[in-house]
Amino acid sequence: MSNAPSQQPHPQHEPHASHPDDQARTTLVTLAYGAMATHTVAAALRLGVFDRIGDGRATADELADRCAARPGELARLLRALTGLGLLTEPEPGRFALTPAGAQARSDAPGSLHAVLQLFSDPMMLRAWERLDDSVRTGEPAFDTVHGTDFFGYLAERPALSERFNAAMSQGSAHTAELLPAAYPFDRFRTVADIGGGDGTLLAGILRAHPGLRGILFDRPEGLAQAGPRLARDGLADRCALVTGDFFATAPEGADAYLLKSVIHDWNDERCARILGHIRRVVPDDGRLLILEPVLPERTGPGDDAISYLSDLNMLVNVGGRERTRDDFARLCEAAGFAVRSVTALPRPNRFSVIEAEPV
């Protein structure tokens, strides 16, 4: 490892530490270490570091037994997590969670524990190792690596599918809090969430609008955790669970059809099928509501990389893509809908509500 790039400026360059070359070098070195950061967090999750530190402070010696790890090596991991901004060392050798580290706890309100687990799971990372293949072919590397498509892979593995559903739920919880105030759902009678997973988003809408009913539509493995999830909020009798394939059908009986993080999973041809089934059942005064990040038409210096990385994640793992406003308008138009409004949810949320009506 003696050839590892160092972020330390060479002594003779010290007086010019803000030289543009230094910034460029720091950018590249940070990227060179990027995958190691992901694996460091993944190891900490597997060892239970965040949950075991909890609200308190702990030394590596105190944590070693609880994490079944060697104190010396655990201390090295804790130092690295501190460098990544997830822990602090308020007194020598004693570590505490930062606000970001606290959200990596499995039991924290607003936890992203399951999201971090999913994104560092070899299932997804192995496909990423073949990103260049996907860029060459336009096909999801996932299918070549695993011999099946993403959702087929989950269907065969109930425990992994439950973790996926938990990650989607954690990823949607923030949107579920913001959405009811950002869009006037009170004009509807029944909202159908297509590919709605465990119902976290729909539950947020139904809680905020007691007069509304819900239909949660997904594959059997998508709905596996939905019953208890809705019952926990006392919503079981206001929401029907409907098992089905959105490439074959859409449930009748709603006047709003919601699709969150579904359209970005698929190419245009597959999206046309999903939207086509919804178009056949949506009433004339009904609405299609697509919740996705909207890419700018052109990249700009203020963009964060997350939306573009998510776009590549869709390419390698599921064969989908993130889209611009024009892309959404074209997709909707081809399926018999016209986009009426695009409303960005408040930052740091990255989602927009794309509202379309049947034409």
Ligand X SMILES: C[S@@+](CC[C@H](N)C(=O)[O-])C[C@H]1O[C@@H](n2cnc3c(N)ncnc32)[C@H](O)[C@@H]1O
Q: Which residues bind ligand X (CB under 6 A)?
A: 151, 168, 172, 195-197, 201, 218-219, 222, 245-247, 260-262, 265
DSSP string covering 36-63: HHHHHHHHHHHHTHHHHHTTS-EEHHHH
Which residues are annotated as catalytic? Answer: 264
Burial of 57 (0-12, 13-18, 19+ CB in 10 A): middle
**Rounded to the nearest whole angstrom, what is the least distance from the CB of residue 80 to ligand X in the complex?**
31
Q: Which is nearer to ligand X, 219 or 350 (CB)?
A: 219
The residue among 197 and 293 lying less far from ligand X, judged by its C-beta, is 197
Q: What is the DSSP string of 167-210?
A: HHHHHHHHHHHHHHHHS-GGG-SEEEEET-TTSHHHHHHHHH-T
Nearer to ligand X, 260 or 321 (CB): 260
Shortest reach from residue 153's CB to ligand X, in Å? 12
Give the nearest distance from C-beta 196 to ligand X in angstroms: 5
Closer to ligand X by Cβ: residue 218 or 322: 218
Nearer to ligand X, 222 or 293 (CB): 222
Q: How far is the CB of 172 from ligand X (least distance, A)?
A: 4
Taking the complex as a whole, the smallest distance from the CB of residue 247 to ligand X amounts, in Å, to: 5
CA pair distance 293, 322, nearest whole angstrom = 7
Give the Cα separation of 219 and 196 in Å (integer): 9
Q: Say whether the peptide bond before residue 20 is cis (omega within 30 degrees of 0).
A: no
**Which secondary-structure segment (H or E) carries 113?**
helix 113-119
Nearest to 205 by CA among 277, 322, 291: 291
CA angle 341, 167, 342 (to 5 degrees): 5
Cβ-proximal residue to ligand X, closest one: 222
